[in-house]
Structure 1
Amino acid sequence: MPPGKPRPPISSQPISGRARIMNFHFFFMGSAGDFFPLFRTSIALLSRGHSVTFVASDEYVWIRPFIEKTPISLVCINADTRFEQGEKPTFDVGGHRSLSDLVEPLVSAHFRYVQDTYVPGNTVFINYIGYVGVKFACEHLGAPYVGVLYAPNPLAETGIFDDDSLAKLSGALQRVASDNHISLVPTVDLTWILSSPYNLAYFPQWMGNLGESVFHAGFPYPVKNDATLPGEVVVFLAERKGEKIVLFTPGTSMPDPAFYAGIVIEACVQLGIHCIVVSHQIGQLALQPEWHGRVLLLGQIEFEAIFDKVDLVIHHAGVGTLSEALRFGVPQLVKPEFWDQFYNASFIETRNVGRAVKKEAFTRETLTYLIDDILTSDDIHQACKKMQVECLNQNGAVISADFLESILVHDKVASQHDPVVETL
């Protein structure tokens, strides 16, 4: 199939009785919304005997506790001497108009990684679609490639890549092509970036239908829910049984989370309700005397352990947090910042499962009104329960694992290199 031309999605059918272990390589950005869909899919693949490698663009320390509990291999290409690319990009989206500053230095490293690890007939590369080096290498080698979409409005609509960013990436790709004596180089534009032989969307069609060329797996929930609550959370909840509790999580990409956490806490205290704050940067938050007994600060917690025990989730409108709240039927109050978050916020309001507030209006007075309005709204709670039923009808982690397993069986490139695949 010509590079850049989307292939209609194959049917998602579990493949049993395989003659070999399949190798899946996942490339991801550093946010929780990027990591957990792939991680949960990987757990499903590992349970079927396959091999999984995660390729990180930086040393994301927070993911290691999850990875280390599994047989997943983790490669940090900036920490690996084979893929050293000089200055390490950092995941600080609040200071970037686009992602080119993050992905441009990785083009050559990703290209070489694919070259070094591709084994025809049993290797699939699953890629965040902005990493053009992975896509280019797969097209050059004829390797099975899957472009991943996390939200219904892809890059073309979020404005992540402007003309200057695309020009930088095009130049980086040209240099890679020259270094590897490749004459055919695609034009790096949004059409090429968004086109893949296979496209996997980690959200259901009823949230946003991207067309027949995209396989909508649905929200990727944990294959097995074995998350447990830390002791301090158990005590906090037990002592406040029957009282309203709000959870605030700014995600891994919200700028200045301590500032916004303070506003949320002030609103909760004014309403006489309790608040749990989950953030990697809570150390920057100074506890006030009037908050005593009403606030619990946590660095990290698994959402599946806590969301069914709170009455409202306030967050950044990331699709990962959104999907977890829908799964547990919890109302949401969101403050979108960039990218897909505005679409997600609109979805929340359209489906009446919560409210959205602009960051300029994110004040104690506004939040006091909105929190009270949401907690006392029967319509919102009924809408949340309805959406919960829809979410529980499918698990995108299992469905996406079925989809990825099927690729090598159906992919002509794989069968040409390895006739054994045709008999599976």
Structure 2
Amino acid sequence: MKVVVTTIGSLGDVHPCIALGLELKRRGHEVVIATSEFYRPKIVSTGLGFHSIGPKHLSPEDPELLSSIMDPKQGPENFIRKLLMPHMRGVYDDLLAACNGAKFLITGELVFAAPLVAERLGIGWASLVLAPWQFLSAHDPSIIGPLPLFAFIRGAGVTVNRAMKGLARKQTKSWAEPIYGLRKELGLSAASHPMFEDKNSPYLNLAMFSSAFAKPQVDWPDHTKTVGFAFYDRQNPASGLTDEVRDFLQNGEPPIIFTLGSTAVMNPGSFYTEGKRAAEQLGRRALLLTGKGSPGISGSRDHMVTAYAPYSEIFPYAAVVVHQGGIGTTAQAMRAGCPQFVVPHAFDQPDNAARIKRLGLGLSLRKDRFHAPHAAEQLRKVLGDEKIRAKATQARTFVEKENGAIAAADAVESACR
């Protein structure tokens, strides 16, 4: 059968879709990934089908755009209300074409037109939930921003958190006017809220994270299945470690690895300069993954700078991974069994950072406080804490037993019967 997997976002959104798509293809299904044109070379190189969807003007490598959507206060509104929603008609048309002949549609959270396409075509669909914060549970509340207020609200109890969710739902209802208008234009059924109830499939919701990271809650949507993390981290199927990076990792004490994933890395600020200084103050080796841009960091014998390396191949060598808290990076660090030090920027990152700390897997520090002396002090705590290392090892054992791509493919096939 033909299955379309669609998403809008960063590599952290795209990689799990590729992992699931490859597993479905292995089982004999025709798989098309529908996402930004930017990712065409990566997806085509895997042998999966590709179909471009909008918004056409969004580039994952536009620093000005990324700075706007990662703003701690206005980021979500800038991204959803101003950049995504006005273009949902175009996304709908693109996705409708991609789904020609499809029997099932699997969609990421931000493709708000996907439920409309499934309803118009009369096909089943599943929603992808890559991080726990997307559920907005009142029983396991998400931290939705980096400020202390959000952590305080989380601890205020079920009633308060349920009320906060209701308030957020009310305040963002106007953001979705383009979806309401499109439904009316297409003659589809009346909707509730595309960013809340309507984003959850009535058939299957795939929680593609480990139950070691977040336990199922009573207020999660019906038909939710926790399948575990789904991993893919190649630039292309033939890519891997360079000899230079491999030699650095294998010859010397375990380094501190600094990375900002694929989005925050486009606007790193002083993260790499302060991180390198912190490593120098500790007398530790470091590997810094700085992306395509140059943050003005020069390497040395003990401090290697490189654009990219597959996390699955470098994290097992790490003494600690210092990262932005994206769910993909978090998952790879858990699978590698290494301690984590998180400097969250936006979106799910503050919530992921808080979960890492609560689970005993590491510590976190606000972005505006990430300066070498303070960072070195916190890193020293992580490096010297045997409890954190033991918890990280336990997490690795748990995550290694899961296979999110296989479990998700099983669930999709079951939903199609």
Same fold? TM cut 0.5 = yes
Q: Distance in 2 between matches of 1:147 and 1:168?
A: 20
Render the CA deviation track for 1:77-119: whole Å, top value 9, x for unaligned.
24xxxxxx7x613442324333323321332123223433445
Please list the CA deviations of residues 292-322 of structure 1 after superposition, one character each: whole Å capped at 9, or x if unmatched: 3222222222111111122111001111111
Report the equivalent of 1:67. 43
Partner of 1:146: 126
Task: Using the TM superposition, give the Cα deviation of residue 164 of structure 1 relative to its aligned residue in structure 2, in angstroms.
Answer: 6.3
In structure 2, the residue matched to 1:5 is none
- Rounded to whole Å, the distance in 2 between the matches of 1:158 and 1:300 is 29
Change over 3 Å in CA distance of 1:298–1:163 after alignment to 2: farther
Contact 1:146–1:200 (8 Å) recurs in 2 = yes
Separation in structure 2 between the aligned mates of residue 186 and residue 383 of structure 1, nearest angstrom: 44
Gaps of 5+ in 1: 1-21, 79-84, 410-424
| Contact preservation (8 Å) 2:325, 2:343 | yes
Matched, 1:309 2:290: no
4+ residue stretches of structure 1 with deviation over 4 A? Answer: 155-165, 222-227
Q: Which residue of 2 aligns with 1:104?
A: 85
Query: Relative to 1, partners in 2 of residues 1:179 and 1:259: Cα closer, same or farther, differing over 3 Å?
Result: same
Q: After alignment, is 157-166 or 335-344 more displaced?
A: 157-166
Matched, 1:130 2:106: no
Equivalent runs, 1:120-199 vs 2, <5 Å:
123-154=103-134, 156=136, 165-170=172-177, 172-180=178-186, 182=187, 184-197=189-202, 198-199=204-205
Displacement after TM superposition at 1:215 (Å): 0.9
Task: Give the conservation status (yes or no) of the 8 Å contact 2:7–2:109.
Answer: no
CA contact (8 A) 1:202 1:396 kept: yes
Question: Which residue does 1:269 correspond to in 2?
Answer: 280
Other-structure match for 2:26: 47
Q: Distance in 2 between the 1:345 and 1:205 partners?
A: 16
State the 1:151 CA deviation.
1.0
1:246 corresponding residue in structure 2: 256
Q: How does 1:2-401 map to 2 (within 5 A)?
A: 22-56=1-35, 58-60=36-38, 63-64=39-40, 66-78=42-54, 88-91=57-60, 92=66, 93-95=69-71, 96-98=75-77, 99-100=79-80, 101-118=82-99, 123-154=103-134, 156=136, 165-170=172-177, 172-180=178-186, 182=187, 184-197=189-202, 198-208=204-214, 209-210=216-217, 211=220, 212-222=222-232, 228-238=240-250, 241-254=251-264, 256-283=267-294, 285-287=295-297, 292-401=300-409
Query: 2:240 and 2:53 mapped to 1: Cα distance?
Result: 32
Secondary structure of the corresponding residue to residue 147 of structure 1: strand
Alignment TM-score, normalising by the size of structure 1: 0.79
Deviation at 1:362, TM superposition (A): 0.8
Residues 165/320 of structure 1: CA separation in 2 closer, same or farther (3 Å cut)? same
- Secondary structure of the structure 2 residue equivalent to 1:280: coil
Q: Which deviates further from its counterpart, 212-221 or 227-236?
A: 227-236
CA contact (8 A) 1:315 1:335 kept: yes
User: What's the secondary structure of 1:145's corresponding residue?
Assistant: strand
Contact 1:282 1:298 in 2 (8 A): no
CA-to-partner distance for each residue in 1:254-305, whole Å, 9 max, x for gaps?
Answer: 263152111101111122212111132441x2135xx532222222221111
AA partner of residue 26 (structure 1)? V
Which one scores higher on RCO, CA 8 angstroms, separation ≥ 6?
1
Which residue is equivalent to 2:63?
none
Could you tell me whether the CA contact under 8 Å between 1:282 and 1:297 is conserved in 2?
no
Shift of 1:166: 3.5
- C-alpha contact 1:201 1:217 (8 A) present in aligned 2: yes
> For 1:90 and 1:228, how far apart are their aligned partners in 2?
25
1:227-267 deviations in whole A, cap 9, x for unaligned? 631122123234xx232301111012226315211110111
Query: d(CA) in 1 for partners of 2:169 and 2:275?
Result: 34
Q: Percent of pairs identical after alignment?
A: 21
Question: Which of the two has higher C-alpha Rg?
Answer: 1
Per the TM alignment, residue 163 of structure 1 is displaced from its structure 2 partner at its CA by: 5.4
**Cα offset, 1:191, TM superposition:** 3.7
CA contact (8 A) 1:158 1:339 kept: no
* 1:39 CA displacement: 0.9
